[in-house]
Amino acid sequence: YPAGSQQDGETSLQELAALCETAGARVLEGLLQRRPYPDPATYLGRGKAGELAEIVAETGADTVVADTELAPSQRRALEDVVKVKVIDRTAVILDIFSQHAKSREGKAQVELAQLSYLLPRLRGWGESMSRQAGGQVGSAGAGMGSRGPGETKIELDRRRIHTRMAKLRREIAGMKTARDTKRARRDRNLVPAVAIAGYTNAGKSSLLNRITRAGVLVENQLFATLDATVRRTETPDGRPYTLADTVGFVRNLPHQLVEAFRSTLEEVADADVLVHVVDAAHPDPAGQIQTVREVIGEIDSRHIPELIVFNKADLIDGDTEIALRGLEPNSVFVSARTGEGIEELLDRIAQMVPVAEVEVDLVVP
């Protein structure tokens, strides 16, 4: 699982493996089962779950990660079969977001997402974890699980979580106002804004580095960029513009994180030009482009002029390049690694950056 073609399943599993590595785990084995829907009791079917238990025993794995969100009862049943901790994709993504959130707003958004993930699972965590020793990858609930709360305790925790969530929501609303004010100030400066968006791991941070030598953290990790980084730069003929790196897109983003993700995407909604970076060496670039465009549509930003940039040109052959040009005729091919195509990219951005309006104070004698 998940359903779909074999190819979809494999791509999704590869991405899950990359997510786990980003979260700091070492991936030992992948197991794909095709079924019309997950087994309601154990997620995988009985036979497949047994096979998984054998793999776990052979490899000495200490954790199993499922590619979709598990019901608390499914997680418990599967833990009973495989005898190690079982978590789901959402827990991994939440963990990564919590490791990478830097700003106060980013941190508050992630904590809110963690709590809303935890809330319906309180009973599950408690019961299961009091039987199974050990913590869990998702940092939310680590304390919760090890305490193994009884019913009253759970009610108390639940109420406390609701209170905390309400507080976080108020704080976030306040920070949003501050951000709007800051943006309005920037708008008054009339400096055009270019936003770099794209699927996670496409090479957005690397490109931003190339362009501005900003020294933004570059890691072979998903979500190295959670909070947008904004840098000032200029066109070859000396017109200033800002360049903002945005959070990476990911398939099946947990719904708890959609808000956190949206708020960092507001940077895109404000932009005059959208530089949409695509990993040219990815097995499904068209799918990635479509995912990103759908979200851009959801934040009402489809009207912003878009430049498709195929990055990692150093990794592809001539045939792939021809196919990608067929897909996106107005695209640019670059390599953030070798520097190939960067000048053309800067020229293309310069053509798209609107000429700044100049405020003229009329001095009337």
Q: Which residues bind ligand GDP (CB under 6 A)?
A: 198, 200-206, 218-220, 224-225, 248, 311-312, 314-315, 335-337
CA distances from 351 to 10, 12, 70 (A): 40, 37, 48
Give me the least distance between CB of 315 and ligand GDP, in Å please. Answer: 5
200: phi then psi, degrees, rounded to nearest 5: -65, 140
CB 333 within 8 A of CB 321: yes
Give residues with Cβ within 8 angstroms of 20, minimum separation 6: 27, 65, 92
Closer CB to ligand GDP, 84 or 207, in the complex: 207
- 90 vs 200 by CB, closer to ligand GDP: 200
Amino acid residing at 61? A
The 3 state secondary structure assigned to 93-129 is: HHHHHHHHCCCHHHHHHHHHHHHHHHHHHHHHHHHHH
Nearer to ligand GDP, 205 or 264 (CB): 205
Which of residues 202 and 352 has its CB atom nearest to ligand GDP in the complex?
A: 202
Bridge-based pairing of strands 193-198 and 240-245 is: parallel
- Between residues 98 and 201, which has the closer beta carbon with respect to ligand GDP? 201
Least spacing, CB of residue 209 vs ligand GDP, in Å: 8
DSSP 36: S
In the bound complex, what is the minimum distance in angstroms from residue 230's beta carbon to ligand GDP? 15
Helix axes 285-298, 318-327, angle to 10 degrees: 30
Are residues 199 and 291 in contact, defined by beta-carbon separation less than 8 angstroms?
yes
Give me the least distance between CB of 248 and ligand GDP, in Å please: 5
CB 81, CB 47: distance < 8 Å:
no
Supply the minimum distance, in Å, between the C-beta of residue 321 and ligand GDP.
Answer: 14
Of 102, 119, 306, 84, residue with least CA distance to 195: 306
Residues 6+ apart with CB under 8 A from 53: 81, 82, 83
Q: What is the nearest approach in angstroms of ligand GDP to the Cβ of residue 149? A: 38
Nearer to ligand GDP, 61 or 228 (CB): 228
Q: Toward ligand GDP, which CB reaches closer, 32 or 315?
A: 315
Least spacing, CB of residue 216 vs ligand GDP, in Å: 8
